[in-house]
């Protein structure tokens, strides 16, 4: 895999500056190569290889790049698609959505962290899963860190 190196955008697609401006060079040194490619270059981990695909542990899923809370385990479900699947984010403003035409004519909705702009995955709707929102937030394990809650 090779990616064109270009500076990571400092503003969200709505033109508002990202709350968290991460140093890409520093991040590259801190993260493993796959996490870096997915988070900062919109890559995708291979299906059924991710650490959290079938995890049922209770906790909070945070952005691996900036630690912002993104998803909660209560909204996680088994979709069988090979990636961690949620039916909603923790808060609607925890994420930003972007129209993704990279597989045109198929148009997908990309999901990014609203705090630092890093790539998380995609969201799909109307697939018929038995979840409250009829949405599947299909998120790369390598974009997430599970913070386990003490009970
Ligand atoms: Zn983030």
In CATH terms, the fold of domain 24-148 is 2.170.150
Helix H or strand E segment including 37: helix 33-41
Residues with CB under 5 A from ligand 1 (ion): 63, 65-66, 68, 113, 115-116, 118
Q: For 109-122, what is each residue's pLDDT tens digit?
A: 999 999 999 999 99
Domain ranges of the chain: 24-148
Question: What spacing in Å lies between the alpha carbon of 5 and ligand 1's midpoint?
Answer: 20
Question: What spacing in Å lies between the alpha carbon of 124 and ligand 1's midpoint?
Answer: 21
Q: For 24-61, what is each residue's pLDDT tens digit?
A: 999 999 999 999 999 999 999 999 999 999 999 999 99
Question: What spacing in Å lies between the alpha carbon of 34 and ligand 1's midpoint?
Answer: 16
Residues in CB range of 85: below 8 A, 6 or more apart: 76, 77, 78, 79, 129, 136, 137, 138, 139
Known active-site residue 138 = yes
């Amino acid at each position: 895999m090779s990616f064109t190196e270009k500076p990571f955008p400092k503003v969200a697609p709505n033109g508002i500056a990202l709350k968290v401006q991460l140093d890409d060079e520093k991040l590259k040194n801190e993260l493993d190569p796959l996490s870096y490619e997915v988070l900062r270059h919109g890559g995708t981990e291979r299906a059924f290889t991710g650490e959290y695909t079938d995890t049922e542990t209770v906790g909070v899923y945070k952005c691996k790049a900036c630690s912002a809370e993104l998803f909660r385990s209560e909204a996680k479900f088994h979709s069988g698609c090979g990636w961690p699947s949620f039916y909603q984010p923790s808060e609607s403003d925890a994420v930003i959505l972007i129209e993704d035409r990279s597989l045109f004519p198929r148009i997908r909705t990309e999901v990014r962290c609203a705090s630092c702009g890093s790539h998380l995955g995609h969201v799909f709707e109307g697939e018929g899963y038995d979840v409250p929102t009829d949405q599947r937030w299909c998120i790369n394990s390598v974009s997430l860190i599970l913070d386990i809650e003490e009970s």
